[in-house]
Amino acid sequence: MTESSLSIRRAEPLSSEEASSAVALDALRAFMARHERLFVLTGAGVSVASGIPGYRDMNGDWMRAQPIQWQAFRDSEHARRRYWARSMVGWPMLAGAEPNAAHRALAQLGAEGRIARLVTQNVDGLHQRAGSAEVVELHGSIDAVICLDCGARHSRAAIQTLLLRDNPALAGVSAAVSADGDAHLEWEALDRFRVPDCPDCSGVLKPDVVFFGENVPRERVAAAAQALEAADAMLVVGSSLMVFSGYRFCRWAVQAGTPIAAINMGRTRADSLFSLKIEAPCGDALSAVTAQLAPSVFNR
């Protein structure tokens, strides 16, 4: 290709969609350049490009049945059977997922000193695998399991070994998976499914995640709130904020006069609170912006 043809190509007007995207990315870049200590809150949308489906559609409505409720898991043996059967099938997909461009861009921003704290609603651990440090996992981690009786912690991989040993009929079964590793499986032989017991005390095991209807541990909320106070802006990435555990940080930011920018495909609960909103895939937007930002003064 000749230089003249390159020049002609550059002179061609952008389409309205390209122009809109360019303007939006410029606005996001300017926002992040002005605010060098970001409080970042991420949701399921940040992991979609890693092959992990989100929970909600573009309007913020559930795309599938809601995840299990804490009270049902606690009180019903049938509910525990159903949960562990679905988790046995769905967890391997989360365990094998790899960080995508959004996770890597946020890890880079953190390494450059531009993130005061990264707080995630996700339980997949992909931020840490990408290199982000000191992540606050609001809803816990699917990689760990706790005993509700003795308090012992076990790796989810170890519990998967028990599940496969005791339930060979489900080995190799595949089904659509949600962001929490819950497979959309309805097994007719559920009454024969063997729920894993605690290897230490034979007590009731629960994944170390916050179920719907369960409270986020106070120390996690306090750590995130403290980080928000120290930040000069907030960035929401891939969250509809329909769950109050994340939405409250937007409310607190507004009360403190802290500006908020968001990258999310579709409606969020906090649309009226944002100073800036970008509707684009998380990885595309973050990669484009991160490539043109200098390291924060806090890391020079």
Q: Which CA distances in Å does 230 have to 167, 207, 261, 282?
A: 49, 32, 17, 25
Q: What is the DSSP letter of 124?
A: S
**Among this protein's residues, is 103 annotated catalytic?**
no
**Considering only CA atoms, which of 237, 250, 185, 243 is closest in space to residue 212?**
243
Alpha helices in 97-234 (DSSP H): 101-111, 126-130, 156-166, 218-230
277 phi/psi in degrees, rounded to 5: -135, 130
Report the C-alpha dihedral over residues 11, 15, 19, 25, rounded to 10 degrees. Answer: -110
Degrees, nearest 5: CA angle 185-189-194: 90
56 phi/psi in degrees, rounded to 5: -125, 160
Alpha helices in 134-235 (DSSP H): 156-166, 218-230
Both tokens assigned to 82: 């159903």
Residue from 35, 103, 127, 139 carrying the catalytic annotation: 139
Report how far residue 260's alpha carbon sits from residue 32's, in angstroms, rounded to the nearest whole number: 10
Report how far residue 168's alpha carbon sits from residue 128's, in angstroms, rounded to the nearest whole number: 32
Report how far residue 102's alpha carbon sits from residue 278's, in angstroms, rounded to the nearest whole number: 14
Report how far residue 96's alpha carbon sits from residue 102's, in angstroms, rounded to the nearest whole number: 17
Q: Any idea which residues carry the catalytic annotation?
A: 139
